[in-house]
Structures are given as structure tokens and as C-alpha cells.
Structure 1
Amino acid sequence: MKILHIASGDTWAGAEVQVWTLCTELVKQGQTVHAIILNPGRLAEMLAESGVTVTVLDERRFGFAKLLEKIKLELHRWQPDVIHTHRQKENILGSLANKMTISVPGFRTVHGAPEFTPSLKQRIQIGADRFTGKRLQHGIISVSDDLTQKLTGQFPASKIHTIANGIDPEAVRKDASAHDGEVAINDQTNSLHVGFVGRMESVKRVDLFLQMAELIHHNANTEHPVHFHLFGGGSLLEEHKSWATRHNLNEFVTFHGHTTIIRSWIARMNLLVMPSDHEGLPMTALESLALGVPMVTHATGGLIPLLKTAGCNGLVEKHCAAGYAERVEALLKAPPSVALPEAYTAARNANEIVALYQSALTG
């Protein structure tokens, strides 16, 4: 089967990791995979290293109409059996180009719920995105039951298919070990280490993580002192750094910024905390469990079945600093043994998606 994925690649976050993981697994399974990426960068590079044929159409150089024409040319040239898109702009471009040329089955993955209040321009794009999903694509892949419920108000229920994200746990552990020597933690105080991984944006609730850190530090309820690590950049990074400084947290809170070896850092943590307002099924959570690192998370989205299946008693209903502090202290005192459940592997994810492709081709 010849499969075309269309993605942005403007950053390296959960959605991009899942695109790369899926395409890599499809290649392993003997599928022929091509990807159109709208920004040069890490996603395009890693896909190429995985055996995917990559075409970069830089959206910084081409407007919407030019991109549409170039994608149409790629479809004529490559003649894929299935087109799979990711994110709004890519959904619109891919489904329009497909309709205007080869008209093969088209799918999209919705990786999470919207995180921002849309502007007028964004509302127009959302409308176009929903139209193409309803009229021009065969199916919508949702990564969690919670997200599926939200999508049923936007698309016909018959078009929505819930397929959880997946990763290759062996590859994750190998990647973490490969960069272990680049991770430096000062353990002179015999501290426990608690991490946050994500973009510094309001939906991720870094404010709750920092308030939680302050509470745990002052409570001193753990056998050893606790050091808190934040990995990631974003528009609120400097604001959060300033808050930490004003509250005298700098001795036990470290902002590491963006890193390309995050799996090695996760492996060095005693615990990972994810206090987001809402999530789909974040790849960081899968990576953490694959590395045997327990998690404390907001009881939301795909995190609920994931942590329950993994036997990790880290779900927090009380979405406030005190709620997270209480659960973190409990898990640091009695850390559970965790592993990635079989239902969340890359092989299982790819198998279910290929079955969906095949049903569209033969139906």
C-alpha cells in the first residue's frame, strides 16, 4: 500500500512524535510511505532517516494557493492509495488537493482539543476544516474516548474512529540510554527528582506545577528533599521563571528549556507530573511509562484509561496545587512499578490504522 501523510513539522511536540512513530512503524511493516511536510526541521529529517520519502514544501515561502498546486502535483506524481493528514491547514490542503486530483480515501488524526480562543481568521479556518472532514475525508481518527465525545458534535459519529497513540517501548529505552551521558543531575543532596515536560502555555498549567513544588518544599513530608525540573519552551517561560524567582524557588526548581534528549531526562526522574487542563493522549505519558517512570496527571482525556491500565495510581481529580502535592508526596513515598500497557504500542496503533485504510479501499 502507498500511504501519504501530510503534516506541518513546524515544531517537535506530541503530534509530530506520533506522526514519526506511525510512519516509522508503517515502513517496518512493509508499507510504502511518503510524507509532505510544510516546514523543514526535525520531523522531516527523522522521517527521512526512518525510510520515509519526504517532500518539504516550505509554507514560509509559499502561500495557500501555491501549496495547493504543489500538493496536487505530488499526488499526480506519487499516486498514493491513501492520504492521511494532521492539523487544520494540512487537513484542508490535503483533502482539497485529493478531491481535485486522484480522489483516494482520506483520513485525518485529531491529536487533541483546541487550546486557544480562536480569532476571526482562525474561526474561518476551523469552519473550512470541519467542512473538509465532513465532506471530503473518509474518516477521523481520535486518540482518546474523551476526544471522540467532543468530536461527535462536529462530525458524523460513523466517521470517527478511536485509536490510541502508540510507541515502541524498546526504541524509547534505547534512545534514552544513547544520551544518558549527556544528562547531568547534581545528586549531592540525595534528592528525589520530579519533572514537567511540555510547552510553557496556559493550558499546560505550569503555574500549578510551580505552586505544587512550593507546597511540597515547605511541607517537607518526603524522606529526601525534592528537586523539580521543567523541560520545554513557550510564550510563558519567562513569566514562570520570574514567578519562581519571586517565590524563592530557584534552589530547588530548574528550568531546562527545550531539549532534544528528553527521553534521557525522563529516565532520570523519580516521577513526572502533567497538570494540563485537558489532554488527548500525550506521547510524553507513553514515553514515561515505557521508561518505568510513574506519573501524576490531571484525570482528563486519554490519561484516565492509560494510567488505570498501567496500574499507576497517579490520577488527580482535585485540579489544584494541593491536589497534585498530595498525590506526588504519596507516590514518592511508595512508588508504583509501571510499564507501558500492550494496548499503547506502535505496532498495535499501526495495525489498527492500516485496517482502517484497507476497509476504505475495499468497502
Structure 2
Amino acid sequence: MTGRRIAIAIDSLAGGGAEKVMLTLASTLVELGHEPHLLVLQQDCHHEIPPGLQVHFCFGGDERNIDGFWRTRGSVQKLQQWITGLEERFGKFELFLSNLDKTNLLMTRTGVAPLYCVVHNSIEEELQRQRKLGPFAYLSMLRAKKSLNGQHLITVSKGIANEIAEVGRVQPASVQTIYNPFELEKIQHQASQTADALPKGDYIIHVGRFARQKRHDVLFAALKQMRNPLPLVLLCNNKKKAIKSARKFGVEDRVIIPGFQTNPYPWIKGARLLALSSDYEGLPTVLIESLAVGTPVVSTDCRHGPKEILTGALRRFLVPRRDPAALAMAMDEALTHYPDCDDAEILTQVGAAAVAGKYLKLLTA
């Protein structure tokens, strides 16, 4: 199978897990001799674009609220015309992959086919979080989620697929799970590069934006209760809030925040342990990346993802959510003895070429 033309639609390239996942998939498809096109709704790009990848932007930087209730019809029409124009230039797309709420809402109304919507996170957890922001925010997200009714869905973890089936809020035409793609050799190569300002001694690391979902409060409380006094490196986006929270738990002097790192892998490889304290995830990328570079991981057993990554001998390093004492105990144990990360079963299932192959099979579904 060569030279298939695939459209990958997404809100923007402003950063974040879904954007990184789709860029990896697209880059891998290029390497395999195919012709992926990134169809980006809005002109916001912070990621480096891999060579050979064609990227197109639909809406101008001054066009806001394109998925608003009163603007949806016009936005869908513009999107339809834009896709038609691209197909006149490059040829028909043989497969459309849609990502994130805004894009799903619009793409599912364009009538393009075959279309698959990729679900990157828990629908129910996202709605629950949005409800706290008020009825307008909640109903806006609910409208986007409901656009998945009757659609073919790809979930990035089996946990998300199970939730969709159990809750029944969304009634899709089909659901299947395809894990996110990882360029394992590239990650290992990047991890071997030198990095400025790495701590000279041993340390624990946490990678993730400073957001309630990530539960830094639980992580700091666990750090306080650990027997081992190692410092904690935070690769996060809001140093001021992180320090304020660490101070509240009396661990400010043990927290190191070096700022944004374009290559976080030397930091992860250099750590004795990576900790994840989240309330929920989709398929937590950082756990797989950590195992790929040989760094042990401890994670909360949130509903989606971690239990599919930490299997077999690694399962005992899953701890209940919102339980600092259990997290502290598991981190202390992991620092003492931990199974060989190379034996992690998940690493045999997420290689970028193998994952790209599963997406290519959608062409013959």
C-alpha cells in the first residue's frame, strides 16, 4: 500500500498532546511513502513541522468563535469549500481523521467520507470539569460531544472506549481503539543528548501543565510523606502557581522548576523516577516516554490509560487517585527496586510504524 492521501483535521497546532500525536502520525505516514495533509482550522502553530508534511490553514487569525452556535453554519460552508479546493489541487482525500471538539463539530457536518473522529480524552471527565465553569461552557462542550453521534470513533485507550459504551451519552456508528504512535528510537536518541541545568544529583520528575487535572496538590502531599528526601523537578508551564502550591505543602525547598524544555527527554532519562498524579488522562504519553528511556514510573490508577500501560510486574506501581500516602509509598518502593522497563508490554504496541499501519487499515474497512 503506497501513496495514500489522508487528511488529518485539527483545531490548531498550538501545543498539547493531540497535536503532537497527529504530527507524529503524519510524519510516520510520510516516511512510509504516503501523502498526509494536515488540515488546521486556525492559524496558531507552536510545533515544529516535520519535513515533507503539507500543512494547510483554513480560517484567518482574526476569525474567532468559528464553532459558535450562530456561526456554525457559515463555518461549515467555508470548511466544505476549502476542502473542495484542496482536493482540486492535490486530489481526493481517501481518509479523513478529525481531532478535538471544535474540529469534530464542524467536520461531522461537512459530509466528507470516510471520516473517523479521534477521541483523545475521557468525554465524561471533560464534561464534569466543564460543568464547573458554568452552564454556557458545559452546554457548548456537550454540543461538540453530541456531534460524535452516528460517527466512526477511534479512542486512544480501551478505557475511553469502555466509558463510551457504558455511559451511552454518545451513540457512535462504531468504536475501536488505536494507541498513540511513539517514535521510540527518536525519543531514545533525543534522551541521550546533553541538556543544560540538569540537577547534579538524583531527582524525581513530573511532566505536565499546571492544571487541576494533574493534581499537583496530591503530588506535593506525597512528596512531604516520602521517606526518601529526593528533590522533585517539575516541567510545567506556570512556575508561580506551582511554587505557591508547593509552599502550601511545605515542600518548596524540594521543588525545581527549570521552565519549558524543547527536549524534555534528557530530563526524564536523568531522573530516578517519574510520577503521575492525575485525576484523569486519555493515554498519558509521558508514562510511555519514560519507560522508553528506562526511567521507572509510578502513576495514579485513573480510569483511562495508566492501567493499560503499567501491566504485569509494573501493575503494583498503580495507586488510587487522590491518595498521597499510597503515592508516597509507591514512589519510595520504586526508588528501591523496580522491574526492567525494557520489558514493558506497552512498548511493543505503540511503535509509530505499527500504529500508522492500523490507521491505514481504515482505508479498507
Q: Which residue of structure 2 aligns with residue 342 of structure 1? A: 348
CA separation of 1:67/1:213 partners in 2, compared to 1, >3 Å: closer, same or farther? same
Letter paired with 2:43: N
Q: Secondary structure at the match of 2:258?
A: strand
Q: Which residue of structure 2 aligns with residue 53 of structure 1? A: 54
CA separation of 1:8/1:271 partners in 2, compared to 1, >3 Å: closer, same or farther? same
**Alignment check: 8 A CA contact 2:8 2:39 kept:** yes
Q: Which residue of structure 2 aligns with residue 18 of structure 1? A: 21
Q: Which residue of structure 1 aligns with residue 207 of structure 2? A: 197
Letter paired with 1:195: I
Letter paired with 2:234: L
**Alignment check: 8 A CA contact 1:166 1:286 kept:** no
Q: 1:303-318 residue pairs with structure 2 within 5 A?
A: 303-308=306-311, 311=314, 313-317=316-320
Q: 1:145-184 residue pairs with structure 2 within 5 A?
A: 145-152=158-165, 153-156=168-171, 159-177=174-192, 180-184=193-197
1:107 to 116, 131, 139: 116
Q: Which residue of structure 2 aligns with residue 206 of structure 1? A: 216
Q: CA RMSD in A?
A: 2.3
TM-score, normalization by structure 2: 0.85
Whether 1:140 and 2:143 are equivalent positions in the alignment is no
Q: Secondary structure at the match of 1:42?
A: coil
Could you tell me how far 1:93 is from its partner in structure 2?
Answer: 1.6
Letter paired with 1:29: L
Could you tell me how far 1:69 is from its partner in structure 2?
Answer: 4.0
| Alpha-carbon separation, structure 2, partners of 1:53 and 1:262 | 26
2:292 to 284, 290, 293: 290
1:299 to 298, 301, 309: 301
| Alpha-carbon separation, structure 2, partners of 1:205 and 1:23 | 32
Measured against aligned partners, the alpha-carbon deviations of 1:305-335 in whole angstroms (never above 9, x if no partner) come to 2111574642113641111110000010113
Letter paired with 2:267: W
Q: Which residue of structure 2 aligns with residue 229 of structure 1? A: 233
Deviates more, 1:264-273 or 1:148-157: 148-157
**Alignment check: 8 A CA contact 2:39 2:57 kept:** yes
Deviates more, 1:77-86 or 1:255-264: 255-264
2:31 to 28, 31, 36: 28
| Alpha-carbon separation, structure 2, partners of 1:174 and 1:58 | 37
What 5-or-longer segments of structure 2 have no aligned partner? Answer: none
| Alpha-carbon separation, structure 2, partners of 1:143 and 1:246 | 35
Measured against aligned partners, the alpha-carbon deviations of 1:243-267 in whole angstroms (never above 9, x if no partner) come to 3235542332112333221122111
Could you tell me how far 1:75 is from its partner in structure 2?
Answer: 1.4
Q: Which residue of structure 1 aligns with residue 63 of structure 2? A: 62
Letter paired with 1:204: K
CA separation of 1:251/1:126 partners in 2, compared to 1, >3 Å: closer, same or farther? closer
| Alpha-carbon separation, structure 1, partners of 2:313 and 2:55 | 35
Could you tell me how far 1:144 is from its partner in structure 2?
Answer: 1.4
| Alpha-carbon separation, structure 1, partners of 2:12 and 2:321 | 35
Aligned residues: 337
What 5-or-longer segments of structure 1 have no aligned partner? Answer: none
Q: Which residue of structure 2 aligns with residue 325 of structure 1? A: 328
**Alignment check: 8 A CA contact 1:83 1:94 kept:** no
Letter paired with 2:144: D
Letter paired with 2:80: K
Q: Which residue of structure 2 aligns with residue 72 of structure 1? A: 80
Deviates more, 1:139-148 or 1:253-262: 253-262
TM-score, normalization by structure 1: 0.85
Q: Secondary structure at the match of 1:285?
A: helix
**Alignment check: 8 A CA contact 1:294 1:312 kept:** no
**Alignment check: 8 A CA contact 2:307 2:315 kept:** no
CA separation of 1:258/1:59 partners in 2, compared to 1, >3 Å: closer, same or farther? farther
Could you tell me how far 1:106 is from its partner in structure 2?
Answer: 0.7
| Alpha-carbon separation, structure 1, partners of 2:59 and 2:266 | 31
**Alignment check: 8 A CA contact 1:40 1:56 kept:** no
